[in-house]
Amino acid sequence: MKTIILCLIAFVTLSACAPSIVNRGNLLETYQIEEINPGMDDKDAVIRKIGSPTTIAPFDENTWYYIGTRKAKTAMLDPKVTRERIFEITFAADGYVDKIFERRDGRKSIPIVARKTPTSGNDFTFAQQVLGNLGRFNKPKSSAANTATGGR
């Protein structure tokens, strides 16, 4: 009986140390890139074959980047990048693929556009919000009938 319990404890302990693998982005394989034909495929064909790009160059809409990363995390340790592939596809002025190449210099030189989603409304500081609500809590009491009829 002790042997079975020790085997179960060892199994559970060792299985907890198995790394969890996570893919981020579009991790393309070589055969997928080989399906794209420069001079014959346009932007729509590229999207159909390998999906939408991870990012597009901010000042050149004819340069697309496909960035894919595989990370392995073991127990409480930080995740480690085990594989990363970055492909750059450039299109000619007519919209057809001009060049495809794999970047090996990392992603630091890839321009990523930082955008902020616009929101409606006003920007108030904390003090403006507190002071703006000072007189709003003591409204005169009204009945539900006045509210339903519009105060007539």
pLDDT in tens, 28-49: 898 999 999 999 999 999 999 9
Instruction: Determine what percent of the chain falls in helix, strand and coil, rounding each to the nearest 5.
Output: 25, 25, 45
Q: Is the pLDDT of residue 149 over 60?
A: no
Distance from C-alpha of 131 to C-alpha of 127, rounded to nearest angstrom? 6
Distance from C-alpha of 76 to C-alpha of 29, rounded to nearest angstrom? 30
**What are φ and ψ of residue 118, in 5° steps?**
-70, 140
Task: Give the DSSP letter of residue 96.
Answer: B
Single out the residue of 3, 21, 1 nearest to residue 11, CA to CA. Answer: 3
Quick: pLDDT tens for 87-133.
Answer: 999 999 999 999 998 988 777 667 666 666 666 777 778 787 777 76
Position with higher pLDDT, 123 vs 4:
4
pLDDT of residue 151: 54
As a whole number of Å, the CA-based R_g of the chain is: 29
Per-residue pLDDT, averaged over 140-149, amounts to 56
**What is the CA 107 to chain-centroid distance, rounded?**
15
Single out the residue of 82, 86, 78 nearest to residue 108, CA to CA. Answer: 86
User: What is the pTM assigned to this prediction?
Assistant: 0.60
The separation between the first and the last C-alpha atoms of the chain, rounded to the nearest angstrom, is: 84
Structure token digits, residue 42: 């346009």
**What are φ and ψ of residue 103, in 5° steps?**
-85, 130
Distance from C-alpha of 37 to C-alpha of 100, rounded to nearest angstrom? 9
